[in-house]
Structure 1
Amino acid sequence: MIKGGKLLAASLFGAMVFGSAGANATDYPARPITLVVPFIAGGAFDVVARLAAERLGNELGKPFVVENKPGAGGTLGGRIVANAKPDGHTILLSGVGPISIAPAVYKNLGYSPAKGLAPIIQLTSSPFVLVTSSQYKGTSVKDFVEFLQSAPGQYNYASTGNGTLVHLAGEYFKGQTKTEFEHIPYGGGSQATLSLLSGDSLFSITNIPNVLGQVTTGKLKAVATTGSARSAVFSELPTMIESGLPNFELSGWIGIFAPAGTPDDVIEKLNGAFAKVMQQPDMKQRLIEQGDEVATGSVKDFQQFVAHSDQTWQAIASDANVSID
């Protein structure tokens, strides 16, 4: 009797636990959702987060509170979310740098995004742009490669810092074109752009928002973009692939992640809400204006996309021997 009573009690306790978990997921969200952005306010990631937050609050019935947690190249915010309770009430808006590049270049990152975070949905795709200073008078990628090859090591490449996607994009370009140039890391996009404007650097392969204004006013020259298709904001420019570099396809991206272990139905609910919000016409137009293009899909789509992104940037970092202590 005692043994059977213990079994019955255990069964009832198990039913209560699992029933409670199911109820929590069904009733999600139960309180405001914290959307962690691992960069400072006002940047491209923050803009996407704040554009989405109000719409998501209306969609799910609870407010989305954007919290900026900059630090450690964008990886601090990822660690915060990875250590949060996996119930969907603390989630992360991040991108290729902190998620795929940082594990490839930092020896002691402190956590594994692939193990600590669960992909929910991709929000945007952002091709880079090959942009040059006024020192370069040509118009095509072919001409530019020949220009660099004629003076190996004599020109500077401006990046947004060691180990950043802009740095690795330059290293990938170097390998694909068999050119030589000096990498000059700056403290961010504005400093790198200033070096192009002053003529201290000849070129960069950078995020479109970093140079959009200067290209539009003719102060810098855009030569090609790096996506699989032409950019909506620079539709007149060829891609690198169209320009004769068949393997040159690189893009930044922004996506949403939850702590690993978050219930699948919560992740699916978030996926559906974000997908609906991102497809709103005014949202899409606002993002196009800053060089981002909406790119949503299923949870499985994003899981596979992130795995491929991790492999791509790991290979680029390894081939270029880029490693940071």
Structure 2
Amino acid sequence: MSVFNKNAAALLACIPLALPLAAQAQGYPQRPVTLVVPFVAGGAFDVVARLAAERLRTELGQQFIVENKPGAGGTLGGRIVSQARPDGYTILLSGVGPISISPAVYKNLGYDPAKALAPVVQLTSSPFVLATSQAFPGSTVPEFIQFLNDKPGAYNYASTGNGTLVHLAGEYFRHSAEVQFEHIPYAGGSQTALALLNGEATFSITNIPNVLPQIQAGKLKALATTGARRPSALPDLPTMTEAGVKDFEFSGWIGIFAPAGTPEDVITTLNSAFNKAMSDPGMRERLQQQGDEVATGTVAQFKQFVAESDAKWKAVATQAQVSID
């Protein structure tokens, strides 16, 4: 066989390996898509996934099947998707905790989300709220900072666990406002709210739904929210920036990821479909009820957003020396 024929045969042998992904990218999706949620059914992530899945079926003409894969603080689901075939038929709905926080605080995460997953689109933004117990006599953030400074280290901060976004939010506040306090980790949002109610902890910077009923009932005080804009759930509260804490801005967020190597046209198709799904007025209203604001955009915008999120929380974890084996 000539050299030319040998090269041609080698080239032809490679074509069958390339064809499946290329063929599937054309006219995607041609069969049901699995949407992995790395948390238990019924939570905020699961609600967003199932609402979006209903609308994606209409947009793309295929079922989007939600599969809950909880474990390892939300990183198990991400690891599963990172190992899936990069064809767009297994995708991930995840957020700041598993994507940006866990790599910043865990020494042995087992995989690198920044390398193993491809950002597709942001879905939501969820500002937090600075909530205090009734032990704080004032009503503003400057008064609260003075309250903490009057007795450095005397007051307790409640988080939803070591290495969580609520934990790092407290450390971010410690550094930004130059205050001191003791951190107490609890097992979740309901326990955090209870600690504030019974006086075990003085304050927390936590997810709005965790404390909204108690705030509305006048049992806890809300001083400010943490996003760039005031959320619809608490429109009368200032943001932390408006309240005078410079360089203090963050939100929880949820977005869609695909395995690294997924064809760009598949990612673009998913981005467009999720953008349309999230623009539904009923979807927006339902998400606002649980403290989420719809936040969508292009693939490029989400890539940049995730990179900035990773860098931000890595810096906070390093500054606070938060590290978990």
The answer to whether the superposition gives a TM-score over 0.5 is: yes
How many Å separate the matches in 1 of 2:156 and 2:299? 41
Q: For residues 239 and 202 of structure 1, what CA distance do their matches in structure 2 show? A: 20
Report the Cα distance in structure 2 between the residues aligned to 1:47 and 1:20, rounded to whole angstroms: 33
Tell me how far 1:7 sits from its aligned partner: 3.3
Q: Aligned partner of 1:260: which letter? A: A
CA distance in 2, matches of 1:11, 1:103: 40
The yes-or-no answer on 1:296 pairing with 2:296 is yes
Deviations 1:24-45, CA, capped at 9 Å, x for gaps: 1013222211111111111111
Q: Provide the secondary structure at the position in 1 that maps to 2:194.
A: helix
Where 2:146 maps in the other structure, the secondary structure is helix
The CA distance in 2 between the partners of 1:287 and 1:276, in whole Å, is: 15
Which residue of the partner structure matches residue 146 of structure 2?
Answer: 146
Residue 29 of structure 2: aligned partner:
29
**CA distance in 2: counterparts of 1:11 and 1:90, whole angstroms:** 29
Q: CA deviation at 1:15?
A: 5.1
Aligned residue in 2 for 1:89 = 89
Name the residue aligned to 2:250.
250
Say which is worse superposed, 27-36 or 6-15, in terms of deviation.
6-15
How far 1:5 sits from its partner (Å)? 3.0
Q: Does 1:161 find its partner at 2:161?
A: yes
Task: Give the AA of the match of 2:97.
Answer: G
How far off is 1:23 after superposition? 1.9
User: Partner of 1:235 in structure 2?
Assistant: 235
Please state how far the C-alpha of 1:2 moved relative to its aligned partner: 3.8
Q: Distance in 2 between matches of 1:72 and 1:154?
A: 33
Q: Kindly state the Cα deviation for residue 147 of structure 1 after the two structures are TM-superposed.
A: 0.6
How big is the shift at 1:6? 3.0
Kept after mapping to 1: 8 A contact 2:176/2:246: no
Q: Distance in 2 between matches of 1:47 and 1:76?
A: 19
Please give the TM-score of this superposition, normalised by the length of structure 1: 0.97
Q: Which moved more, 1:211-220 or 1:192-201?
A: 211-220
**Cα distance between partner residues in 1 of 2:111 and 2:246:** 35
List alignment gaps of at least 5 residues for structure 2.
Answer: none
Distance 2:308 2:77 in 1: 22
- Are 1:130 and 2:127 counterparts? no
Farther-moved stretch of structure 1 (78-87 vs 208-217): 208-217
Distance in 2 (CA, whole Å) between partners of 1:305 and 1:51 is: 23
What corresponds to 1:310 in structure 2?
310
The Cα of 1:137 is off from its aligned counterpart by: 2.1
Residue matched to 1:194: 194
Match for 1:150: what amino acid?
A: D
Greater alpha carbon shift after TM alignment, 5-14 vs 188-197: 5-14
How far apart in 1 are the matches of 2:15 and 2:46?
42
Percent identical: 66
Quote the offset at 1:4 in angstroms: 3.3
5 Å-filtered alignment, 1:1-325, equals: 2-14=2-14, 17-325=17-325
Structure 1: which amino acid aligns with 2:36? V
- TM-aligned CA deviation for residue 12 of structure 1: 4.0
Aligned-pair distance for 1:21?
3.2
Query: Which amino acid letter does the alignment assign opposite residue 301 of structure 2?
Result: D
- Counterpart AA for 2:284: K
How far did residue 198 of structure 1 move?
1.0
The superposition leaves residues 129-161 of structure 1 with CA deviations (integer Å, 9 ceiling, x where unpaired) of 000111112110000001111111111110000
Letter in 2 for 1:102: S
Amino acid corresponding to residue 52 of structure 1 in structure 2? A
Q: TM-score, normalised by structure 2?
A: 0.97
| Alignment partners' CA distance in 2, 1:70 and 1:20 | 30
SS in 2 for 1:237: coil
Structure 1 unaligned residues grouped into runs of 5+: none
The amino acid across from 2:130 in the alignment is L
Shift in CA distance, 272/178, structure 1 to aligned 2, threshold 3 Å: same
Aligned partner letter, 1:244: G
AA in 2 matched with 1:231: P
CA distance in 1, matches of 2:15, 2:152: 70
